[in-house]
Structure 1
Amino acid sequence: MQQERDTTLDSARIDQWLAEDLGPGDVTTRATLGADRAVQASWIAKADGIVAGLAEARAVFQRLDPQLIWQAEVADGARVRAGQTIARLSGTAHGVLSGERLALNIAQRMSGIATETRRYVDAVAGYAARILDTRKTVPGLRDLDKKAVAAGGGTNHRFGLYDLAMIKDNHVAAAGGIAAAVAAVRGYAPDIAIEVETTSLAEVDQALAAEVPMIMLDNMAPAMMREAVARVAGRARLEASGNVSQASIVAIAATGVDFISIGALTHSVMAFDISQRIAPID
């Protein structure tokens, strides 16, 4: 495979992360191998899952050793099995060992998100509903968290408070009702898309009357969701949200909603286990 330079992470961002781990230097690597010792290593999957974050891992290693050779054996979004080689790398001990933990932390988190996302995507494969992420991400890592969701087959929802006006209960209460809140947003930012959070069929009717393009069905039981789908009848897209789990996802998808958002994809993900195995180059 051809070696490519990564442009996802800028050097300043990587340097900030490396400073936390390296400080004035990697004492153990310098003492046992020497910073310039040539080494090679492999990344091995320790479980079945979906890989993500390989470009980011490469960027970390090459920040420490610009000449380091990184060869990915799979692409982001690929399904791997336990024991499978994910990538091979060779370079200085400083690059391969001193960058190991940061690179693994990034790739393991992103792969964990991608793996969990794919579980949900696979669970609703027979339905029209698409899996959405949320803003429940680690501060400073939202772009990587959302990239990992996409690698797992999910769909990125809004990236922040600026690219979609999501009117929730507090906004409704402050504005004096759904109609007033929608009118206020349209007066302030006429070109931005609007979504309204609802918790009852009466609120769904109010959102429909306001002609918003997307309505969130928050913590509704499947029976109420089905009724909401029937009432809306395609006049707006419907997002199911709230306490979604593997146990409930199929029942929710079967109601006919367009989207299902899941905060757990990013706010409480389990890291995917990857091991770096190293051998000196003679």
Structure 2
Amino acid sequence: MNLCPLSPLLFEPLVRAALVEDLGRAGDLTTDAIVPPDLRATTVLAARQSGVVAGLDIAALAFRMLEPGIGLVVERPDGSPVEPGSVIATLSGSARALLTGERTALNFLCHLSGIATATAAVVSAISEYKAHIVCTRKTTPGLRALEKYAVRAGGGSNHRFGLDDAVLIKDNHVAIAGGILPALERARAAAGHMVKVELEVDTLAQLEEALAFGVDAVLLDNMTPDELRQAVAMVNGRALTEASGRVTAATAPAIAASGVDLISIGWLTHSAPALDIGLDYQS
């Protein structure tokens, strides 16, 4: 997998804020009382269940913000599958930094690995079809860049990152504009030549109206597999087709079999369960 790493500029402020939240005004009372300041230790990040890793650089930064000299040897880089007991990475250095940064590091690593794991499961379920799994803007406030990175680590792709990188006309836009045609006309007139326009449709009649005007992509919302097949035939390559609505690993294959280009899933980022990963003391 050719997974481009996240720039630290995107996550350094988040890790710093998380550490400040945890350390409060007095620091780690437990560790500072028990562990000598010059004690060194070695720990491993180990998987407790099967999944896919994402967020190692972010976890490492949580330790290194406390002690820049913390050493990291990666065994399973982001995007790698793991089984229970798999060693993901070995950390060595200040015992105080390792203990104090543990929870912040694991909060990020377990959450992002959970997203990567959930994504990988759906990607695997539709592997025989051409459709790509994409995430949405249903992300944890402040963590969007990280969560969308985790989707990529799991083999998925990203939908738009925000309101400013594409036009997506949804049902409320259409209702307020007074119909599909005026909504499309206003959007196309305002959008720059580099901005794509996508329209959400609930029926094949709406799709026909959108195709008559011309759009870059259509979001086929909550359609049955049979309706999706009809929609793909109507589009006939004139626009990207995206299926959305209550998609799971179990329902995704039937949706992908319809021939759609994309399947968007919100729960990958807003509800994926964390992957159980622990920090184990070695010496």
Note whether the superposition's TM-score is higher than 0.5.
Answer: yes
What letter is aligned with 1:266? T
What letter is aligned with 1:19? V
Runs (4 or more) in structure 1 with deviation over 4 Å come to 8-11
* Correspondence 1:65-76 to 2 at 5 A: 65-76=67-78
Residues 1:16 and 2:36 are matched in the alignment:
no
Is the 2:10–2:145 Cα contact (8 Å) retained in structure 1?
no
* Correspondence 1:173-184 to 2 at 5 A: 173-184=175-186
Is the 1:46–1:274 Cα contact (8 Å) retained in structure 2?
yes
What letter is aligned with 2:99? L
User: Which runs of 5 or more residues in structure 1 are unaligned?
Assistant: none
Aligned to 1:99, the other structure's residue is in SS state helix
Is the 1:6–1:58 Cα contact (8 Å) retained in structure 2?
no
Question: Residues 31 and 159 of structure 1: is their aligned pair in 2 closer, same or farther, counting only changes over 3 Å?
Answer: same
Task: Point out the more displaced range, 253-262 or 271-280.
Answer: 271-280
Residue 84 of structure 1, CA deviation: 0.8
Question: Residues 104 and 256 of structure 1: is their aligned pair in 2 closer, same or farther, counting only changes over 3 Å?
Answer: same
Distance 1:277 1:102 in 2: 15
Task: Point out the more displaced range, 121-130 or 242-251.
Answer: 242-251
Distance 2:199 2:213 in 1: 10
What letter is aligned with 1:94? R
Is the 1:216–1:240 Cα contact (8 Å) retained in structure 2?
yes
Distance 1:78 1:224 in 2: 37
Residues 1:198 and 2:211 are matched in the alignment:
no
CA deviation string 1:72-103 (max 9, x = no partner) = 11111011111010000011122111000010
Q: Which residue of 2 aligns with 1:189?
A: 191
Residue 14 of structure 1, CA deviation: 2.3
Distance 1:133 1:5 in 2: 17
Aligned to 2:182, the other structure's residue is in SS state helix
Is the 2:54–2:79 Cα contact (8 Å) retained in structure 1?
yes
Residue 12 of structure 1, CA deviation: 3.7
User: Aligned to 2:159, which of 135, 143, 157?
Assistant: 157
Residues 1:231 and 2:234 are matched in the alignment:
yes
Is the 1:197–1:216 Cα contact (8 Å) retained in structure 2?
yes
Question: Residues 11 and 215 of structure 1: is their aligned pair in 2 closer, same or farther, counting only changes over 3 Å?
Answer: closer
Distance 2:37 2:182 in 1: 64
Q: Which residue of 1 aligns with 2:147?
A: 145
Is the 2:11–2:146 Cα contact (8 Å) retained in structure 1?
no
Residues 1:217 and 2:220 are matched in the alignment:
yes
Question: Normalising by structure 1, what TM-score?
Answer: 0.95
Is the 2:47–2:86 Cα contact (8 Å) retained in structure 1?
yes
Q: Which residue of 2 aligns with 1:97?
A: 99
Task: Point out the more displaced range, 18-27 or 7-16.
Answer: 7-16
Question: Residues 10 and 158 of structure 1: is their aligned pair in 2 closer, same or farther, counting only changes over 3 Å?
Answer: closer
User: Which runs of 5 or more residues in structure 2 are unaligned?
Assistant: none
Question: Residues 35 and 22 of structure 1: is their aligned pair in 2 closer, same or farther, counting only changes over 3 Å?
Answer: farther
Residue 209 of structure 1, CA deviation: 1.1
CA deviation string 1:15-42 (max 9, x = no partner) = 2110111112101111111343211101
Residue 10 of structure 1, CA deviation: 5.3
CA deviation string 1:156-207 (max 9, x = no partner) = 1100001010000110111111111111012222321110000000011111
What letter is aligned with 1:20? E
Question: Residues 5 and 93 of structure 1: is their aligned pair in 2 closer, same or farther, counting only changes over 3 Å?
Answer: farther
Provide the identity percentage: 48
Aligned to 2:219, the other structure's residue is in SS state strand
What letter is aligned with 2:80? A
Is the 2:131–2:262 Cα contact (8 Å) retained in structure 1?
yes
State the superposition RMSD in angstroms.
1.6
Question: Residues 271 and 5 of structure 1: is their aligned pair in 2 closer, same or farther, counting only changes over 3 Å?
Answer: closer
Distance 1:115 1:11 in 2: 24
Q: Which residue of 1 aligns with 2:168?
A: 166
